[in-house]
Amino acid sequence: MKFTISRAALVKPLQIISGVVEKRHTLPILSNVMITVDNKSLSLAATDLEIELIGSTPLDQVEQTGKTTVSAKKLLDISRALPEDAVVQCSLEGEQMVIRSGRSRFVLTTLSPQDFPSVDVGTFVTQFEISQGKLRRLLGKTYFAMGQQDVRHYLNGALFDINQGVVKCVATDGHRLAFSSVSDANVGDARVKVIIPRKSILELIRLLDANSEDNISVAISENHFRVMTPDFTFTSKLINAQYPDYDKLIPRSVQNTAIASREALKQAIVRASILSSEKFRGIRLHLDKDQLRIVANNPEQEEAEETVTLEYQGNGLEIGFNAAYLLDAISAIGTDNVRWSFNDPNSGVLIEAFDKADSLYVVMPMRL
């Protein structure tokens, strides 16, 4: 194997695959990147046995094709440290990979590519296209509500509910729920429900461009989920479990509704929560006619109080919440005003954009 490539062209796919490379590896091969060179392109692959990520770039000059594996971190560190306009020559010499650029020379140990794990995805039964930006924004509006190391493993991920041109994404950790949906004609008549693991969701958020409206390909098999763009191919295992019926968790009939400025509400909660308990992050909301008081205190007997003007004609209510959960939901809403809907102090609050129906959030109260 021998090829020549610009530093910039080498760094790009290395940065793409870097998030998947195992930091605390049990198998030495998992800290390596698989390098494959054919007559036209360079392919770099990494896996942690749950996710496989392949980045590729075209090559202008290939002297010899082949494949090997080397330390992903060392190769990326070397590439980043070279001058921006550097030209890099890589060659496989015996059981070592030699990297030359200008007056620099590096020799890396390799491991056999035959030992590099491959992902057996089976047959893709569902395939469709979707705007890259739409998929990225969908994930960005829901990912924060996923569980973390929950014993109910199906909560440690997000549900994709795809049906007749609409892609719904749902995440819940049992204390809050985030729901968002997008319509895209390219989805066609695809109909499937799958749970994608937390790490895979976070990795897709890193990889996808929220500002790109280019279509990307999505393929789903019985046990795997794949996203393909011109720059990378991302494959993840699925969580094989039954997701809770999220419709039952969303309040459909509410007695009290308040409408407030998103930014004013957000800033008031941020300020009040400074003096909340560091462990529980609890705040109390006191709702009265056209006014919301936000009160927080801590074990040191310190207290903060904020008052926000809003539109509210319902009964007086006092409810306790985790401030971080409220802020996550409010921050995910992109409109100027938000609608809060309550029933009583023991039921969750429904948070929605005032004039859009594509996303909603439910936050359960906490005892303070």
Q: Are 2-115 and 126-247 equal in CATH topology?
A: yes
In the CATH hierarchy, which fold is given to the domain comprising 126-247?
Answer: DNA Polymerase III; Chain A, domain 2 (3.10.150)
For residue range 299-356, what is the model confidence (pLDDT) as tens digits?
Answer: 999 999 999 999 998 888 999 999 999 999 999 998 999 999 988 888 899 999 988 7
Q: What is the pLDDT of residue 346?
A: 87
Contact between 156 and 173 (Cβ < 8 Å): no
Q: What is the pLDDT of residue 68?
A: 97
Percent of the chain with pLDDT over 90: 83
Could you tell me the pTM of the whole model? Answer: 0.93
Domain ranges of the chain: 2-115, 126-247, 251-363
Chain position carrying tokens 């924060």: 144
Rounded to 5°, angle at Cα 245 from 244 and 246: 95
Query: How does the average pLDDT of the chain come out, rounded?
Result: 94
SS (H, E, C) 216-261: EEEEECCCEEEEECCCEEEEEECECCCCCCHHHHCCCCCCEEEEEE
Checking if the pLDDT of 368 tops 80, the result is: no
In the CATH hierarchy, which fold is given to the domain comprising 251-363?
Answer: DNA Polymerase III; Chain A, domain 2 (3.10.150)
What average pLDDT does range 178-202 have in this prediction?
94
Checking if the pLDDT of 135 tops 80, the result is: yes
Residues in contact with 248: Cβ distance below 8 Å, sequence separation at least 6, in sequence order? none
Alpha helices (H) along the chain:
7-17, 72-81, 132-140, 198-207, 262-273, 323-332
CATH architecture assignment, domain 2-115 = Roll (3.10)
For residue range 23-75, what is the model confidence (pLDDT) as tens digits?
Answer: 776 789 999 999 999 988 999 999 999 999 999 999 978 999 999 999 999 99
Q: What is the pLDDT of residue 37?
A: 96
Cα–Cα distance for residue pair 68/110, rounded to 1 Å: 7
Residues in contact with 118: Cβ distance below 8 Å, sequence separation at least 6, in sequence order? 52
Q: How confident is the model at residue 92 (pLDDT cuts 50, 70, 90)?
A: very high
Q: How confident is the model at residue 160 (pLDDT cuts 50, 70, 90)?
A: very high
Q: What is the pLDDT of residue 354?
A: 87
